Amino acid sequence: MARRRRQHPAGNPREPRLRHPARRRHPPDLHRIPLPRSARRRPRCASLEGILTAAQRFLAAGALQRDRGRAARRHRARGSQAPVAGAARRIRGRGAGADPLSGARIHREVARHALVAPAALLHGFPRHQPGLRVRSRALSKIVFLSDLHLSHTHGFFWENFRRARDAANASEADLVIVTGDLCINGPDSDAEMQFAAQALEGLEARVFALPGNHDVGDEPPGQDPAQIVDEARLARWDAAFTADRFAIEAGAWRVIGVNAQLFGSGLPREAEQEAWLDEELAGARGRPVALVLHKPLFVEHAGEDAPTVSSLNPAPRSALLAKLQAAGVRMVISGHLHASRDRVVDGIRHLWLPACAFLGAGSHGGAPEVGAVSVDFATPEAVVAPLPGLELTPFVLAEIKQHGRWKFLRDMPPCPPEVASAAE
């Protein structure tokens, strides 16, 4: 027999109201999840520490879009809920103890906000996601940052990054793509990799990051034989950024990002990426495609046959170029050389990005330059422009390393950046 609802006298404030079907409580769908106030009742997967750790990786991988733009400002004016990272940033430093993310007060503060998070944020991430996909024709304006060379121990280029970050935020871009070399000593430093990941949280747009040789090591023969890409170094990247490739439908284009350090590496993930790339190229269905990676395919022409650290090596380059031409790829965007160049070779537009950190040597083509660019993919003819309002210090690497006294920046005496936190 069904239990009858207990009735109260008319006018009793405790009188129950019949719930409208639309308001009926459903199992949480993870769109708006408040934290319980009681630590005993708080599920382990929804602990504040677990959420914030995951959010940092999620944001760095570009899988959580910040509350930005006009609609978000209207919501904030009404006191709406903030995303995980936004709530954490507003309350950082208010908790008890030395750790800014500790203390019951922080749990109470975050409990006042509904945390906007997809399921992966609460249930954790796999160690490596095969690739991130975004499909939205409304996204068309993308800012490209390259070669940041950030470090918690060597802050030579931190101020340049802050300026680039602020200019990217002011541009109101739909996305930001970072094309590798986020670190100085990423292949051997967990702390430096996490520092770079946290630094990207200062970008308001959604962020996608690709690894470079200073993040996961070089493919053989490599610029530094002591830092050749391997499984452990890829795992370090995964722990900070989750994915090392992505596919985005931006405006009229499909933009595909790949891990350049895998080409010619012989690692199992190289074959995995090859199969994934075939699938993503086939899925373009006639849309123009732009390939994004850390290293350019070549310096002057596709027939270069000597092993090099400036671009992809001959064998993997030849295989990749054949695949791109068969798929009708129209644009290749790369960093690595700290120089600008924009030209068409064999029907493909090759865009080299300036660096955020320091000037290139200029011995391998292109114009040494520091800066960043914005690309609008709204139409089949992509429009490339310098990122407005950006003025960076044109550091010369030889001068920083005192003209040969130091071979690598990581070997120099520590000079940490003057920041309270990487996301400042």
**From 74-88, 244-258, 398-412, the region with the lowest mean pLDDT:** 74-88
Answer whether 61's CB lies under 8 Å from 208's CB.
yes
Q: Is residue 395 part of a domain?
A: yes
In the numeric block, which tokens belong to residue 348? 């493909």
In the numeric block, which tokens belong to residue 322? 């054949």
Say if residue 236 is in the same domain as residue 353: yes
Burial state string for 107-119 with b = 16 or more CB within 10 A and e = fewer than 16: bebbbebbbbbee
H runs (alpha helix) in 200-350: 213-216, 231-241, 268-282, 314-327
Mean pLDDT of the chain: 78
Measured between alpha carbons, how far is 164 from 145 in angstroms, rounded to an integer? 8
Measured between alpha carbons, how far is 67 from 81 in angstroms, rounded to an integer? 10
Q: How many domains does the chain have?
A: 2
**From 217-221, 252-256, 389-393, the region with the lowest mean pLDDT:** 217-221
Answer whether 311's CB lies under 8 Å from 365's CB.
no
Those residues whose C-beta lies under 8 Å from the C-beta of residue 364, and which sit 6 or more positions away, are 299, 310, 337, 339
- pTM exceeds 0.75 for this model: no
pLDDT tens per residue across span 378-388: 999 999 999 99
Say if residue 68 is in the same domain as residue 140: no
Q: Is residue 38 part of a domain?
A: yes
Say if residue 141 is in the same domain as residue 96: no
Give the range of the structural domain holding residue 59, as residue numbers without chain letter.
28-122
Answer whether 237's CB lies under 8 Å from 209's CB.
no
Q: Which among 57, 54, 14, 6 is positioned nearest to 30, based on CA atoms?
A: 54
pLDDT tens per residue across span 160-214: 999 999 999 999 999 999 999 999 999 999 999 999 999 999 999 999 999 999 9
Say if residue 134 is in the same domain as residue 76: no
Say if residue 236 is in the same domain as residue 279: yes
pLDDT tens per residue across span 61-96: 443 344 444 444 444 444 433 343 443 333 333 333
Answer whether 336's CB lies under 8 Å from 358's CB.
no
Say if residue 190 is in the same domain as residue 56: no
Say if residue 172 is in the same domain as residue 73: no
